[in-house]
Chains A and B, each alone.
Chain A
Amino acid sequence: MFRRSELFEKSLFVIILISIFAFFIFSQLQLAGRMLPTLLQEHFPQKAPAEWVYGLLIPILVVDFLVRFFFQPLPAQHVRPYLHLPIKARVLSLYRMFRSWLHPINLYLPVFFYYFIRMTINPETSSQGSGLIGIILFVAINQGLLMWTKAYTGNKLNVILPVTLILVGFVLAWNFYQEALMQFSLDLFLGFVYNDIQAFAPVVALVLLLHFMAYRQMKRGFYQVFENSAPLKAVSSGSLPERLLASVPIYGQLWLLEWQLASRSKRSQFNFFGMIPMAIAFSLFLVLWGGAQPETYIVIILMIAGSYGGFHLQHAFSWESHFFDFLATRNIKMKTFIKAKFYFYLTYAALQLVVISPFLLWRNIELAFLFAGMFFYATGFGFFFYLRTGVGNSTRLDANGKSSFNMEGVTGIKFMQVMVLFLSVLPFIIIGYFLPLQHGTALLLGLTGLLFILTHNWWINGIARKFENRKYVKLNLYRQK
């Protein structure tokens, strides 16, 4: 029997944490399913709750697919060991599809609708069970579509543009044909609950077609999908950003290395390239619907303001664990190495702030102040915090692992460290609230962060010394496979 490295196994703490989280999500979905009819009735009485929700099944599916597209990779780890055995590609492709179906994302819509259907469908005149089967078929459409898309693109993200275009197309279609689409969605669902074969037949046919297409595609590109590599076109060295980075004095080569690490590794490339669009989307959301108190979203603002650096530096030095012996034997000073990292991610976050500033300044100056303050806090104090705690990161990390999530070596302590950083903004909110200043919280956060940025030479020296003191232990652990 194949066993994965124990580094991939989750600790008891993480298992308990995940269980609590899963229970929380489940109870929230249950609550939403039970409460939504009442809430809709109160706030949007012009239509029955069932009409609202079952009329919106198409946009719900579109959003569900988008979420899947970014967060549901095709499973590879579970299947890869069997590649060494004489098992036919078609069997492994089917097994892979089965493993893909086990992804928890397939549960949330059925759980929510199980309760919602019970609250909105009368069991005496129609079938609640058939309604739920209809929802599961909808989930199956997206699951099939996702498997086909990911198999077609080799689990890579180079279809972001087509997906975005399709999304834009849908938004336009929704804009012009909203009533017709809502009516179609409602009729289809009513067909399900009345056991109408005309409703089920095309949906089942679509599900089967998508699954067949996914199976064919998986079989066709079987070995390519399991190839642990980035697209070859990315190999061409000397692209414009790379040339620009390499030309930076003193830190150029280290910046280039950082760029190559972040942009060519599976674990990082999604967040690296996705962070700026994500920040734009989030700031737009806050500007349009965030309300008058942006402090409510302060933890998310903290994550966004630190940009990709916040994600990367949580695992500081582990990213280089595979080649730290090389770095340790070459003429690269630890202090310079850490500084290069700090400057690189500070610049990246600053670039992001510049890009999102027009959206922030457009309608919500309050929010712009908070973002600016948080930029300094996340890059000053936040980066200091991650780099300092990173001295304790002695886990070997496979930067080319298949997914940004399920990071091996994510321990309870690491989780708590991140929580500490998130909670550290609370005192600023409280003090800021009592300060007789208009943007008290933003000002306090900004000044604190600025202090850390201005003193970075001093604390980076300290971190480099700490790292050197623990060098032998760390290098030894980095070598452990």
Chain B
Amino acid sequence: MHIRIDQLTKEYNGNLALDIPSLEIKKGELLGIVGNNGAGKTTLLRLMLDLIGATQGHIEIDGENVSKSDGWKKQTGSFLDEGFLIGFLTPEEYFRFNAETYGLSPEETDQRLQEYSRFMSDEIMETGKYIRQLSTGNKQKVGIIAAMMVNPPLLLLDEPFNFLDPSSQILIKNLLREKNRQTGNTMLVSSHNINHLADICTRVILLEKGVIIKDIINTEERKMEEIDAYFSSRA
């Protein structure tokens, strides 16, 4: 899916949290968003999902203004935080409910979940637990799987590597890369982990105080080193 951001600003109590005059994300890109705390990564993702209103400007997904229509919802999978989980459901029930909103049957849902069995590592399915009873890491996995399992043309993940053990971080990293290559779906992943993003993303943008200060096509190794150097200088 093709995303276009035009004159987008977001203010909180008069403080500018995000200011993106223009940004295009082409179909099939795996875009990494990096930045320190408060840089505006989550704000950008929330604006894309129409969870908060822009102060000015707009975001279009395939030419459709996200705040004026709902058509993009069926094409978009997302997981930002626990607000995307339904605590009183078991993971199985949650996956089914989520998949149903994308028009998937229970049989298709079960089939799609097979792909993620290694990532779930026997700790999620058939445990007899509600999501609210799972560990933070397993909740994170449930959210990521729910967003990915519907193979959405647009996938948005906020800090997907947080709370995951090292093996799961590598697994999800590989899954994202493979999915992006196989399906050509557009993916936006925000993270503090530059190494993971450098490994998988085709493009990385660096946000600082709500402004994009670097936009790098990730074939130029030197430029990723620049990002590394940028954060080192701020440490």
B90 contact from A237, A257, A265, A332, Cβ within 8 A: A237
Question: Bound state CA distance, A373 and B97, in angstroms?
Answer: 37
Question: Bound state CA distance, A409 and B84, in angstroms?
Answer: 22
Question: Is B130 within 8 A of A229, CB to CB?
Answer: yes
Question: Bound state CA distance, A299 and B89, in angstroms?
Answer: 35
Contact (A253, B100) CB under 8 Å given A329-B51, A479-B83: yes
A399: nearest chain-B partner, CB-CB = B88
Question: Is A326 within 8 A of B83, CB to CB?
Answer: yes
A473: nearest chain-B partner, CB-CB = B53
Q: Which of A230, A325, A333, A472 has the most CB of B within 10 A?
A: A325
Question: Is B85 within 8 A of A330, CB to CB?
Answer: no
Min CB gap B128→A, angstroms: 5
- Does A476 reach chain B (CB closer than 8 Å)? yes
- Does B39 reach chain A (CB closer than 8 Å)? no
Question: Is B101 within 8 A of A260, CB to CB?
Answer: no
**Binary interface profile of A, 249-266, with partner B (CB < 8 Å = 1, else 0)?**
000010011001100110
B101 contact from A332, A399, A472, A479, Cβ within 8 A: A332
Question: Is B88 within 8 A of A400, CB to CB?
Answer: yes
Question: Is B85 within 8 A of A260, CB to CB?
Answer: no
Contact (A333, B70) CB under 8 Å given A264-B88, A400-B88: yes
- Does B102 reach chain A (CB closer than 8 Å)? yes
Q: Which residues of A contact B86 (CB under 8 A)?
A: 257, 322-323, 326
Question: Bound state CA distance, A159 and B85, in angstroms?
Answer: 31
Q: Which residues of A contact B93 (CB under 8 A)?
A: 237, 260
Q: Which residues of A contact B133 (CB under 8 A)?
A: 229
Interface residues of B in 23-68 (CB under 8 A from A): 49-53
Interface residues of A in 320-356 (CB under 8 A from B): 322-326, 328-333
Question: Is B50 within 8 A of A328, CB to CB?
Answer: yes
**Binary interface profile of B, 77-91, with partner A (CB < 8 Å = 1, else 0)?**
010111111111110
Contact (A228, B88) CB under 8 Å given A237-B93, A253-B100: no
Question: Bound state CA distance, A264 and B81, in angstroms?
Answer: 22
Question: Is A400 within 8 A of B87, CB to CB?
Answer: yes
Question: Is B73 within 8 A of A331, CB to CB?
Answer: yes
Q: Which residues of A contact B73 (CB under 8 A)?
A: 329-331
Q: Which residues of B contact A137 (CB under 8 A)?
A: none
Q: Which residues of B contact A91 (CB under 8 A)?
A: none
B85 contact from A230, A323, A328, A331, Cβ within 8 A: A323
Q: Which residues of A contact B49 (CB under 8 A)?
A: 325, 328-329
Q: Which residues of B contact A478 (CB under 8 A)?
A: 83
B129: nearest chain-A partner, CB-CB = A235
Question: Is B88 within 8 A of A260, CB to CB?
Answer: yes
Question: Is A329 within 8 A of B76, CB to CB?
Answer: yes
B84 contact from A265, A325, A475, Cβ within 8 A: A325
**Binary interface profile of B, 100-121, with partner A (CB < 8 Å = 1, else 0)?**
1110000000000000000000
Question: Bound state CA distance, A328 and B47, in angstroms?
Answer: 12
Min CB gap B135→A, angstroms: 14
- Does A232 reach chain B (CB closer than 8 Å)? yes
Q: Which of A256, A261, A329, A478 has the most CB of B within 10 A?
A: A329
Question: Bound state CA distance, A256 and B129, in angstroms?
Answer: 18
Contact (A400, B51) CB under 8 Å given A325-B84, A326-B85: no
Q: Which residues of B contact A332 (CB under 8 A)?
A: 101
Question: Is A237 within 8 A of B132, CB to CB?
Answer: no
Question: Is A235 within 8 A of B83, CB to CB?
Answer: no
A232: nearest chain-B partner, CB-CB = B128
Min CB gap B134→A, angstroms: 11
Contact (A228, B92) CB under 8 Å given A325-B84, A329-B78, A331-B101: no
B80: nearest chain-A partner, CB-CB = A325
Q: Which residues of B contact A399 (CB under 8 A)?
A: 88
Question: Bound state CA distance, A260 and B86, in angstroms?
Answer: 10
Q: Which residues of A contact B76 (CB under 8 A)?
A: 329
Question: Bound state CA distance, A343 and B74, in angstroms?
Answer: 25
Question: Is A235 within 8 A of B84, CB to CB?
Answer: no
Q: Which residues of A contact B190 (CB under 8 A)?
A: none
B51 contact from A232, A253, A328, Cβ within 8 A: A328
- Does B185 reach chain A (CB closer than 8 Å)? no
Q: Which residues of A contact B81 (CB under 8 A)?
A: 325
- Does B98 reach chain A (CB closer than 8 Å)? yes
Question: Is A475 within 8 A of B74, CB to CB?
Answer: no
Min CB gap A321→B, angstroms: 9
Contact (A323, B84) CB under 8 Å given A237-B92, A237-B93, A331-B73: yes
Question: Bound state CA distance, A323 and B79, in angstroms?
Answer: 11
Q: Which residues of B contact A229 (CB under 8 A)?
A: 130, 132-133
Min CB gap A301→B, angstroms: 32
Min CB gap B14→A, angstroms: 16
Q: Given A323-B83, A323-B87, A476-B52, output 7 extra A-B contacts at Cβ < 8 Å.
A: A228-B132, A230-B130, A232-B128, A237-B90, A322-B83, A330-B98, A331-B102
11 contacting pairs across A/B (C-beta < 8 A): A253-B100, A256-B97, A257-B89, A257-B97, A260-B89, A260-B93, A261-B88, A325-B81, A326-B84, A331-B102, A472-B52
